[in-house]
Chains A and B, each alone.
Chain A
Amino acid sequence: MGVSKEETARIAELARLSLDEAELARAQGDLSEIVSYVNKIADLNTDGVAPTVQPCTVSNAWREDVALPSLSREEALANAPDRQGEFLRVPSIIQGEGDGE
């Protein structure tokens, strides 16, 4: 079962990867091949089987509400590709580029 070009493009956009025509064709081929391989698990009978998210799970691993020291601003922004004073800077959101949520 292959993955269509449209589907490949939609997945790429969801993942914020921009692919040119050649890359898209290649990604479509790779994805189709991998998907058709992993589809073999469809044969597996999993009726009544609970999903496992993690092996050897620890439940209720929480911390108490105690404030700990934070990084200094300089440490926090040391890797920032662009800054303006006390802030990290990015190009503006362009209308229609998507909203916060």
Chain B
Amino acid sequence: MMQDYEVVVGIEVHVELATESKVFCGCRTAFGAEPNTQTCPVCLGMPGALPVLNRRALEYAIRTALALNCSIADRTKFDRKNYFYPDLPKGYQISQYDLPIGSNGYIYVDVEGEAKRIRIKRVHLEEETAKLMHAGDDIISATHSLLDFNRAGIPLVEIVSEADMRSADEARAYLSKLRSILLAMGVSDCKMEEGSMRCEANISVMPRGSKEFGTLVELKNIASFRAVHRAIQYEAARQIEVVSSGGAVARETRHWDDARGETAFMRGKEEAHDYRYFPDPDLGPIVIEKPWVDRIGDEMPELPDAKGERYMREWDLPKYDASQIADSRDLSEFFEKTCAIVGDGREVAKWILGEVLASLNATGIELSESKLTPELLAELIELVQTGKISGKIAKSVFEEVFNEGKRPGDIVRNRGLLQISDVGELVSIVEKVIDANPGPVADYHAGKTRALGFLVGQVMKETRGRANPQETNRILKEELDRRA
């Protein structure tokens, strides 16, 4: 049944911009401050207070729009979106209605190995609301709500996609690509768990192959990447169920209940708001001059896609590896710093996508929180490259470097793990092994070359893995041939 239908998804994302001060006043935006200590008459909506635009917030919005390949408005303005809610101090939100900063953009998202183009309808700047918490255990039993206005007035960009996604997977891929772009731009920390990135989805279903979209349902309260995927899957299945049993999907807004794993009715179309948008007379028009946009473009950090292509070019990385590193600001920064020391991108990439990612996953921490530095990883790689330790030894040392930040050279020295490449020493060990294993030696002489592997293993055992593998092979062969 599911396969008879196609899911159509459009996504609206709100992202808090990482400015020092709020969008229309000078209050700080720091996360986690004591409640109600980052407020002023403006962001509290006191009588008489007036907004003044933060230039950097506008610049970040322009940068975001450029990164999403939008056209930038040459004239824009701010509008008031009027509605009453206790988290909205002025009774209206300063937002942008008919002249968004950016429009008609797109990004490419990886869908089953193919780059799919998802169009961006608009990007605009607006202000954040206050934080509203329920005083009791849950929303049902609480008789009161508590307000913290620290968040009110933090700049937000709203990014609205076209309904170009066709599955929960695509929606998740879109969001994660968006996040990697915004992180690379340095405009937001995009932490869904701290609410600095939030998303709403528009979902409809239609018979496969149809050109006409079904009735659209808005989904709110999606608080994580995992929730996006679950919520869309749930809602699509619900709608398909309705349609295939002969019913009609209602045009409504629904709420994602993450704990129950289901969506619930919030309000219908007839209760849709009349926001009475009109131009905010407290803020004059904004003229965005071309040279300014060009400068913002020029000064813009490299986009993940461009970065990935550069890695493929410079270090000959496979496409998948290149984009995996490039899509993450943390990984790509680390990668480039390490490459700058050791000059072997392929080797560095192998380490980052192998041991480093595995350790991050195992410990659940961010790369920036680990004790590993580009210098330490570079030192480890250099020890292998110069033949001081084997790759295998290097891997066994890595964990200690990652967890404790010790220098690889010190560990290797202290534990006596330096590779034995000295021919004299290796010859005496090889002779000892040959003498101790007459059976395999005879096998070898009888043409069973597999026995060589066993003998190499014995040398490694004898040296606790420190013997230089290439040298060991060579000497062992020579010695066996000599005795043949």
User: Which residues does A use to contact B, with CB under 8 Å?
Assistant: 14, 16, 53-54, 57-73, 76-77, 84, 86-93, 96, 98-101
Contacts and interface: CB of A to CB of B under 8 A. Distances in A.
B143 A92 contact: yes
Contacts of A54: 281, 284
A99 B472 CA distance: 73
Given A62-B53, A86-B34, A87-B35, A76 B149 contact: yes
Contact of A65 (B21, B40, B129): B21
Nearest to B77: A53
Most chain B CB within a 10 A radius of its CB, from A73, A84, A88, A98 = A88
Contact of A89 (B146, B274, B286): B146
B135 A88 contact: no
B147 A90 contact: yes
18 contacts: A57-B284, A57-B285, A61-B284, A62-B55, A63-B53, A64-B56, A66-B20, A66-B26, A67-B21, A69-B26, A71-B41, A73-B34, A76-B39, A86-B34, A90-B86, A90-B147, A98-B83, A99-B253
Contacts of A64: 54-56
B64 to A, nearest CB: 16
A20 B21 CA distance: 45
A96 B264 CA distance: 12
Contacts of A60: 284, 286-287
Contacts, number: 136
A3 to B, nearest CB: 15
A60 B35 CA distance: 33
Given A54-B284, A90-B147, A92-B134, A62 B58 contact: yes
B449 interface: no
B53 A66 contact: no
* Interface of A: prevailing SS: loop
Interface string B284-312: 11110000000000000000000000000
A87 B133 CA distance: 10
Interface string B259-300: 000000011000000101001010111110000000000000
Nearest to A82: B144
Given A57-B285, A63-B52, A65-B20, 18 more contacts: A53-B279, A62-B55, A63-B54, A65-B21, A65-B55, A66-B21, A70-B27, A70-B40, A76-B39, A89-B144, A90-B86, A90-B145, A92-B143, A93-B132, A96-B267, A98-B83, A99-B266, A101-B83
Interface in B384-404: none
Contacts of B6: none
B84 A16 contact: yes
Nearest to B21: A67
Nearest to B283: A61
A91 B146 contact: no
B31 interface: no
How extensive is the interface on chain B, given as a class?
Answer: 35 or more
A87 B37 contact: no
B21 A92 contact: no
B27 A67 contact: yes
Nearest to A56: B284
B220 interface: yes
Most chain A CB within a 10 A radius of its CB, from B87, B146, B148 = B146
A6 B186 CA distance: 51
Interface in B167-217: none
B287 to A, nearest CB: 5
B349 interface: no
B471 to A, nearest CB: 61
Nearest to B86: A90
Contacts of A62: 52-55, 58
B269 to A, nearest CB: 14
B147 A89 contact: yes
The 10 closest A-B pairs by CB, nearest first: A68-B26, A65-B56, A87-B146, A86-B35, A62-B53, A62-B55, A88-B147, A67-B21, A53-B279, A76-B39
A101 B218 CA distance: 12
B220 A99 contact: yes
Contacts of A73: 34-37
A59 B75 CA distance: 10
A18 B40 CA distance: 31
B57 interface: yes
B463 interface: no
Contacts of B253: 99
Most chain B CB within a 10 A radius of its CB, from A69, A98, A101 = A101
A61 B144 contact: no
A62 to B, nearest CB: 4
Contacts of A72: 37
Contacts of B53: 61-63
Interface in B37-83: 37-41, 44, 52-58, 77, 83
Given A59-B285, A71-B40, A90 B144 contact: yes
